[in-house]
Amino acid sequence: MKKRLLVYVLLAIPVAALGYGAWVWGRIAREFDDRHWNIPAEVFASPLELYEGRRLSADDLTRELRRLGYGPVSGRIGPGLFRRDGNTIEVHRRAFTYDGGAFPEQVLHIELGGGRIAALEDGDGSSLPIAELEPMLIGHLFPSHGEDRIILGPDEVPQLLTESLKAVEDRRFDRHWGIDARAMLRAAIANVRAGDITQGGSTLTMQLVRSYFLSNRQTYTRKIREALMALVLELRHSKDEIMLAYVNEIYLGQNGARAVHGFGLASRFYFGKPLAELDVHEIALLVAIVRGPSFYDPRRNPERALARRTLVLELMRDAGLIDAATFASNKDRELGVVTVESRRAAYYPAFMDLVRRQLRRDYDDEDLAQRGLKVYTTLEPMTQAAAEQALVGELERLQSAPGRPELEGAVVVTNPHNAEVRALVGGKRTGFDGFNRALDARRQIGSLVKPAVHLAALEMGRYSLATQIDDVPVTLELDDGRTWSPRNFEDEANGQVTAVRALAESLNLATVNLGLEIGLERVARTLERLGVEPRRPLYPSLLLGAIELTPYEVAELYTTIANGGFRTPLKAVRAVVDGRGRTLRRYALEIEQVASPESIYELNQGLVQVMRRGTGAPAGRLLPAGLTTAGKTGTSDGLRDSWFAGFSADHLVVAWIGNDGNASIGLTGGSGALQVWARIIGSVETSSYDLPPPAGAERVHIDYRTGLSTDPTCPDAVELAMPASAVPPKAVTCGSTNTRIGSRIREWIRNRLQ
Amino acid sequence: MTSDERAARCAARCATRRMIPRAVSTLVLLSCATVAACTTSPFGYPSPQPGSSTRAPSGSARPPEAEPAPRSNASAALLEQGREARAAGRYAEATASLERALRIDPNNPLLWIELAEIKAADGDRSQAREMARKALTLAAGNPAIESRARRLL
């Protein structure tokens, strides 16, 4: 009996070992061979397109190149380097892929002048119609746990790195079977002598297994599994494959809550440039960090990191990887680690949040985390930087007023032509992944609604912006018996005013009277066409903006107005490409005409007057001279929200300022958000609002106060566009000045003849 | 000037344009063949002068120094790319090229109508119609664009 039990036990041991071996084998086959490790989707900004005539200054281009990790040199340029000579910039652009297309490395010769690109040539002096810089990597879409990495292919890993890793971490890597007994023994002896763990003795294979499969707990069973798995890995894979996996997998630092894995990402994290461009001392520093990313953190413990880097350089020299001269020239170099601030500048949590939300419509989290997707977005780092600076700076300034509750803000910048989101700021702590006010702060829009009221009137054909409307007090009895008596901000009624003046000066009484005249239902339907759903039943307070929208929704509404009445959902993602470079999905431009182009054009001429004569005029001092813009202020009840929405030809900016607890902030749209808006428009390269008039619109000059046709030379003349049938009769006088009779008669005859 | 006179003058100007590199010449010829008012290029900028453009190296499309034509080179090249992709039936790629061109030259009705025609060829009737409408709002006084747009409405 006892004998049989012994036989069973003796048999069971190899069976169990075999079973365990098979399990390890299977697990490695399943997880490692499939390369099914988590490769979070890489997210890229919009590439900077270069072409003759593009608005761009030499300073902006220099900043953009630095953001992309290009280094300035005075001598010969190579990939990743640029040379600036006054207004001429020569860049050796790196090779990259974009949206499935491959772009080889290329020398670009860019001449700038007058705020534009004057000439663009390649290295041979042939002119190029268009060229692009590689898009900036702005982040990764993560699964729930915080890991970050950039996966490198075999040709992207410098040999000096792999050879140095062997020299420092695992000298017999090319010969052992995953386990190096001699090294382990030597390490054990050294540790006993030192009374502390100074040497690991783990092979690169074991380090890889530990990082990839095992938890960080130090136990005996773990050590055995580690060795067994290393052995299996070596049996199944070549040394090159194991080395590549190691380079992509190993833990090299901590970026806030995100673990930095792999040398590709570590190179970006520490030096702000790709691995292939690292100098000898930089490679040595990364190899030094492997041993203890926290202990040898070059930012927090620079002396320790420097000492270990010197040791690594010595080992590299002793192994014959670098010569004595190279050693000497590199050992005294500075660590060269980029500051955390410059890295934080490239962290756009609010925009990434938007990207994630837009992708979630088509992909689940698993897909985004595990398929190695590349996501090409619309973000413009330059515009984003301008928006962040403007909001943060302006909030700081406004906050200094005594007794003001804590201010917060949000900014959305779009390209009104195609509804692409150029920049998005979700709050004053721009690097903080918190409440995204641009997408989630739903606030009363106040007078931002007024253009919709005027548009509804204009589309009827009976009204123009020259029409006189009553800016007189009104009291309404609501369904529940309460009364409502709106007032103008300045608290005085102006009698008869032109519609253009009512819009420009944001007169509440005139707007309410106009809205009641054309009917709430008509206004609501116009809003619905523009993509805003007012709550029903409708109340007259809708006419003064008692409707809650997020800054993002306001940007969508105004983008439709700015681009001539074509509605387009805002877009943050252009294309998604899979791990093999195939385009999975393009988010093509889609438009829908939702308003009459003539009416929208006329409305926009009115919004230009907001900036010239009305509530937007204070922006003038912050804008370049001669820049035509259009926009509208918004102030909610009790001064709780300060809004401004406005646009030039190619930038639409919505700015909001308020308090998270909805307290009164004592700011109007003009004294708060307008300042942020103007700073942004003033600092991006942009052109005057210039939508060409549609066929049915006739340009006329009317008197701002009387609404009669007038001469362009009259002081109160404003240029509008309206259907010929709506052109008002000619004024007898030019305000108080007499108009020249001759021109008036000519004008009258011309009008009659048409 | 009657439209016949315009067309005649247009034809005369077009005949002198053989030396212009392909990307620009395609556009100019197309605009001349179809647009009666040929005093400006379809991009709304002055047309490149034939004599000066021969100075540019072959294969490029550099406008003459005297009359800088901002943006038009780049969008012309992209339009050409889009046409090649469309001719090969690669509509997604053609769309991407046209969208890029529109980022540079957004108020150009020619780009909008070409994009509308790509949509139509790709079977997207509704976007073809909307984009034709967009082209119409920008094409005031450009009968060629207008008639191409009406065909899609």
In contact, A704 and A501? CB cutoff 8 Å: yes
| Best residue of A126, A132, A598 to probe chain B, by most B CBs closer than 10 Å | A126
The confidence score (pLDDT) of residue B70 equals 33
Question: Do A192 and A263 fall within a single domain?
Answer: yes
The confidence score (pLDDT) of residue A581 equals 82
The confidence score (pLDDT) of residue B41 equals 35
Contact residues, chain B, for A592 at CB < 8 Å: 130
Using the Cβ of A643 and the Cβ atoms of chain B, whether some distance falls under 8 Å is answered with no
For B44, the closest chain A residue by CA position comes to A692
The shortest CB-CB distance from B73 to any of A52, A125, A590 is to: A52
Domains belonging to chain B, first-starting first, are 3-48+67-152 (1.25.40.10)
Look at residue A98 and tell me whether its pLDDT is greater than 50: yes
Question: Do A655 and A738 fall within a single domain?
Answer: no
Q: What is A614-656 written as a DSSP string?
A: STTGGGGGGSPTT---EEEEEE-GGG-EEEEEEE-SS-EEEEE
SS3 A157: coil
Domain range for A729 is 698-753
**CA-to-CA separations, A624 to A52, A58, A687, in angstroms, rounded:** 22, 18, 10
In contact, B66 and B29? CB cutoff 8 Å: no
**Residue among B30, B36, B45 at smallest CA distance from B10:** B36
Q: d(Cα B91, Cα A130) in Å, to the nearest integer?
A: 21
Look at residue A235 and tell me whether its pLDDT is greater than 80: yes
The shortest CB-CB distance from B70 to any of A116, A119, A126 is to: A116
Residue with tokens 């252009």: A574
Mean pLDDT for the stretch of residues A166-180: 88
To which H or E segment does residue A252 belong?
strand A251-255
Interchain proximity A415–B103, CB inside 8 Å: yes
Interchain proximity A130–B76, CB inside 8 Å: no
Helices (H) and strands (E) in chain A, counts: 24, 34
Q: Which DSSP letter does residue A29 get?
A: I
Q: Which DSSP letter does residue B16 get?
A: T
Look at residue A571 and tell me whether its pLDDT is greater than 70: yes
Question: Do A567 and A603 fall within a single domain?
Answer: yes
Mean pLDDT for the stretch of residues A555-578: 95
For B65, the closest chain A residue by CA position comes to A118
In a domain, A371, yes or no: no
Interchain proximity B60–A126, CB inside 8 Å: yes
In contact, A648 and A596? CB cutoff 8 Å: no
Look at residue A248 and tell me whether its pLDDT is greater than 80: yes
Structure tokens at B93: 């790629």
Mean pLDDT for the stretch of residues B75-97: 95
Supply the angle between the helices A280-290 and A263-271 in degrees, to the nearest 10.
120
**Residue among A352, A314, A351, A353 at smallest CA distance from A330:** A314
β A41-44/A374-377 pair status:
parallel
For A117, the closest chain B residue by CA position comes to B70
Residues of chain A with pLDDT > 70, as a percent, come to: 90
The confidence score (pLDDT) of residue A559 equals 97
Using the Cβ of A705 and the Cβ atoms of chain B, whether some distance falls under 8 Å is answered with no
Look at residue A358 and tell me whether its pLDDT is greater than 60: yes
Rounded to 5°, the CA angle A687-A688-A691 comes to 110
Strand segments (E) across A659-736: 698-703, 717-722, 733-734
Interchain proximity B103–A590, CB inside 8 Å: no
The confidence score (pLDDT) of residue B27 equals 44
Residue with tokens 């992909």: A363
Q: Which residue has the higher pLDDT, A195 or A321?
A: A321
If one counts every other C-beta atom within 10 angstroms of the C-beta of residue A321, the result is 20
Using the Cβ of A596 and the Cβ atoms of chain B, whether some distance falls under 8 Å is answered with no
Q: d(Cα B71, Cα B80) in Å, to the nearest integer?
A: 14
Contact residues, chain B, for A119 at CB < 8 Å: 62
Question: Do A496 and A547 fall within a single domain?
Answer: yes
In contact, A141 and A348? CB cutoff 8 Å: no
Interchain proximity A593–B133, CB inside 8 Å: yes
Q: Which residue has the higher pLDDT, A653 or A255?
A: A653
Look at residue A721 and tell me whether its pLDDT is greater than 60: yes
In a domain, A462, yes or no: yes
Question: Do A289 and A176 fall within a single domain?
Answer: yes
Alpha-carbon distance A436 to nearest alpha carbon in chain B (angstroms) = 28
Q: How many CB pairs under 8 A join A and B?
A: 104
Mean pLDDT for the stretch of residues A141-162: 75
Count of structural domains within chain A = 5
To which H or E segment does residue B76 belong?
helix B72-87
The shortest CB-CB distance from B107 to any of A575, A588, A692 is to: A692
In contact, B10 and B32? CB cutoff 8 Å: yes
Using the Cβ of A191 and the Cβ atoms of chain B, whether some distance falls under 8 Å is answered with no
Phi and psi at A161, nearest 5°, equal: -65, -50
Look at residue A737 and tell me whether its pLDDT is greater than 50: no
Max distance between CA atoms of chain B, in angstroms, equals 44
The confidence score (pLDDT) of residue A697 equals 85
The confidence score (pLDDT) of residue A200 equals 62
Question: Do A309 and A445 fall within a single domain?
Answer: no
Cis peptide bond prior to B68, omega within 30° of 0 = no
Q: d(Cα A393, Cα A679) in Å, to the nearest integer?
A: 10
Look at residue B67 and tell me whether its pLDDT is greater than 90: no
pTM: 0.76
CB contact set of A158 (below 8 Å; sequence gap of 6+): A275, A276, A278, A283
In contact, B44 and B123? CB cutoff 8 Å: no
Question: Do A129 and A266 fall within a single domain?
Answer: no
Question: Do A522 and A629 fall within a single domain?
Answer: yes
| Best residue of B137, B147, B150, B152 to probe chain A, by most A CBs closer than 10 Å | B137
Contact residues, chain B, for A129 at CB < 8 Å: 23, 60-61, 73-74, 76-77
In a domain, A409, yes or no: no
Asked which of A136, A163, A193 is the last residue of a domain, the reply is A136
Using the Cβ of A114 and the Cβ atoms of chain B, whether some distance falls under 8 Å is answered with no
Look at residue B71 and tell me whether its pLDDT is greater than 70: no
Q: d(Cα A338, Cα A341) in Å, to the nearest integer?
A: 8
Alpha-carbon distance A127 to nearest alpha carbon in chain B (angstroms) = 6
Alpha-carbon distance B15 to nearest alpha carbon in chain A (angstroms) = 24
Interchain proximity B104–A129, CB inside 8 Å: no
Contact residues, chain A, for B131 at CB < 8 Å: 591
Confidence of residue B12 (pLDDT cuts 50, 70, 90): very low
In a domain, A399, yes or no: no
Interchain proximity A586–B134, CB inside 8 Å: no
Q: Which residue has the higher pLDDT, A178 or A646?
A: A646
CB contact set of A178 (below 8 Å; sequence gap of 6+): A203, A205, A206, A227, A230, A231, A232, A233, A234
Question: Do A462 and A585 fall within a single domain?
Answer: yes
Structure tokens at A214: 């095992």
Q: Active-site residue numbers of A?
A: 169, 447
Q: Which residue has the higher pLDDT, A226 or A399?
A: A399
Interchain proximity B99–A588, CB inside 8 Å: yes
Least confident of A84-98, A253-267, A505-519, A680-694: A253-267
If one counts every other C-beta atom within 10 angstroms of the C-beta of residue A672, the result is 28
β A71-72/A81-85 pair status:
parallel
Highest mean pLDDT among A118-132, A360-374, A723-737: A118-132
Confidence of residue A660 (pLDDT cuts 50, 70, 90): very high
In a domain, A396, yes or no: no
Confidence of residue B57 (pLDDT cuts 50, 70, 90): very low
Asked which of A683, A707, A732 is the last residue of a domain, the reply is A683
Q: Which residue has the higher pLDDT, A389 or B54?
A: A389
CB contact set of B4 (below 8 Å; sequence gap of 6+): none
Contact residues, chain B, for A52 at CB < 8 Å: 62-63, 68, 70-71, 73-74
Max distance between CA atoms of chain A, in angstroms, equals 131
In a domain, A360, yes or no: no
Q: Which DSSP letter does residue A140 get?
A: E
CB contact set of A571 (below 8 Å; sequence gap of 6+): A358, A378, A418, A419, A420, A421, A587, A589
Question: Do A101 and A50 fall within a single domain?
Answer: yes
Looking at residue A504, its amino acid is A
Q: What is the CATH number of the domain that holds A336?
A: 1.10.3810.10
In a domain, A212, yes or no: yes
Phi and psi at A542, nearest 5°, equal: -55, -35
Q: Which residue has the higher pLDDT, A607 or A229?
A: A607
The confidence score (pLDDT) of residue A735 equals 59
Least confident of A41-45, A273-277, A397-401: A273-277
Residue with tokens 């829009």: A445
The confidence score (pLDDT) of residue A748 equals 56
Look at residue B95 and tell me whether its pLDDT is greater than 80: yes
Interchain proximity A52–B141, CB inside 8 Å: no
Mean pLDDT, rounded, of chain A: 88
The confidence score (pLDDT) of residue B37 equals 35
The shortest CB-CB distance from A418 to any of B68, B96, B103 is to: B103
**CA-to-CA separations, A529 to A452, A511, A547, A593, in angstroms, rounded:** 10, 20, 16, 9
Q: Which residue has the higher pLDDT, A1 or A670?
A: A670
Chain A, 560-579: which have a CB under 8 Å from a chain B CB?
Answer: 564, 566, 575
The shortest CB-CB distance from A417 to any of B23, B57, B102 is to: B102
Confidence of residue A272 (pLDDT cuts 50, 70, 90): confident
In a domain, A408, yes or no: no
Interchain proximity A130–B141, CB inside 8 Å: no
Question: Do A501 and A531 fall within a single domain?
Answer: yes
The shortest CB-CB distance from A695 to any of B61, B69, B140 is to: B140
Question: Do A97 and A226 fall within a single domain?
Answer: no
In contact, A630 and A562? CB cutoff 8 Å: yes
Q: d(Cα A658, Cα A237) in Å, to the nearest integer?
A: 59
Using the Cβ of A557 and the Cβ atoms of chain B, whether some distance falls under 8 Å is answered with no
Q: Which residue has the higher pLDDT, A73 or A142?
A: A73
Look at residue B22 and tell me whether its pLDDT is greater than 80: no
pLDDT by residue (tens digit) across A199-228? 567 889 988 888 777 655 556 677 777 888
Supply the angle between the helices B22-34 and B3-15 in degrees, to the nearest 10.
160
**CA-to-CA separations, A19 to A6, A23, A265, in angstroms, rounded:** 20, 6, 38
Confidence of residue A526 (pLDDT cuts 50, 70, 90): very high
The confidence score (pLDDT) of residue A399 equals 96
Contact residues, chain B, for A691 at CB < 8 Å: 107
Residues of chain A with pLDDT > 90, as a percent, come to: 59
